[in-house]
């Protein structure tokens, strides 16, 4: 989804790049530059990374959208809650006459006559330890005619309670006269309070 940057982006974290390495070809021309930074994001915060040079400008935002827990189901079974009814007949003076053979023990049925299924059936599940998943949204904005417009948007999910999780996005669009290859690699880990 592309659009114009308005009040939609609010950078809650601005951090300097803490390191940068460049690879050069044989002629001394820079062919690859790698930068690294570490930042803590909390829910609904947005990190902004501004990549600008003399000919083009890009703004990358990484928003911490939400955290989920997904519980794997290891076993399940279905059950219903029975409705049991009884009726008693009293064989006493002035009461209805009871015919013994009608209520005798030898009247057997293939199904229980007192138990009927009651309404709904339910499913019981056994859950294992949950996976903690964070959802991040990466957006790229480009500056053209002194306006920012959204050029790309992508959501990432990362399982963070099983060590670090890596997500990678590659931007191969042409910006101005140069072809820009931007690889954004995020390493996420969860640390408790």
List, for residues 137-159, the tens digit of each pLDDT value.
Answer: 988 888 877 788 888 888 888 88
Query: Residues 48, 135: one domain?
Result: yes
Query: Residues 85, 157: one domain?
Result: no
Gap between the Cα atoms of 148 and 58, Å rounded: 9
Query: Residues 135, 182: one domain?
Result: yes
32: which 2 tokens? Answer: 């690859």
Residue 103, SS3? helix
Query: Residues 58, 141: one domain?
Result: yes
Q: Which residue has the tokens 């209805």?
A: 96
Whole-model pTM over 0.75: no
| Total number of domains constituting the chain | 2
- Where does a domain end: 90, 109, 127? 127
Query: Residues 66, 157: one domain?
Result: yes
For residue 65, is pLDDT > 70?
yes
Query: Residues 86, 67: one domain?
Result: no
Query: Residues 67, 77: one domain?
Result: no
67 found inside a domain: yes
9 found inside a domain: no
112: which 2 tokens? Answer: 């229980």
What is the model's pLDDT at position 175?
42
Query: Residues 58, 135: one domain?
Result: yes
Contact 170, 179 (CB under 8 A): no
Average pLDDT over residues 164-181: 53
Gap between the Cα atoms of 151 and 135, Å rounded: 20
Query: Residues 60, 82: one domain?
Result: no
Residue 27, SS3? coil
- Range(s) of the domain holding residue 61: 19-71+131-188
Gap between the Cα atoms of 39 and 163, Å rounded: 17
121 found inside a domain: yes
pLDDT digits (tens, 9 = 90+) for 75-116: 999 888 777 777 666 666 666 666 666 655 555 666 555 555
Binning pLDDT at 50, 70 and 90, where does residue 189 land? low
Query: Residues 111, 140: one domain?
Result: no
5 found inside a domain: no
What is the model's pLDDT at position 46?
87
Backbone angles phi, psi at 101, to 5 degrees: -60, -30
What is the model's pLDDT at position 11?
80
């Amino acid at each position: 989804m592309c659009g114009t940057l308005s009040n939609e982006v609010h950078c809650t974290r601005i951090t300097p790049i803490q390191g940068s390495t460049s690879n050069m070809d044989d002629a001394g021309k820079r062919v690859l530059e790698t930068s690294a930074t570490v930042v803590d994001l909390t829910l609904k915060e947005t990190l902004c990374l501004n990549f600008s040079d003399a000919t083009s400008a890009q703004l990358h935002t990484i928003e911490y959208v939400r955290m989920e827990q997904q519980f794997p189901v290891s076993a399940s079974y279905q059950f219903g809650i029975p409705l049991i009814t009884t009726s008693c007949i009293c064989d006493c003076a002035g009461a209805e006459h009871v015919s013994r053979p009608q209520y005798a023990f030898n009247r057997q049925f293939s199904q229980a006559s007192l138990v009927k299924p009651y309404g709904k059936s339910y499913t019981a599940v056994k859950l294992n330890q949950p996976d903690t998943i964070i959802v991040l949204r990466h957006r790229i904005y480009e500056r053209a005619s002194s306006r920012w417009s959204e050029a790309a948007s992508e959501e990432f999910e990362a399982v963070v309670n099983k060590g670090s999780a890596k997500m990678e996005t590659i931007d191969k669009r042409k910006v101005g006269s140069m072809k820009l290859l931007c690889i954004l690699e995020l390493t996420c880990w969860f640390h408790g309070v």
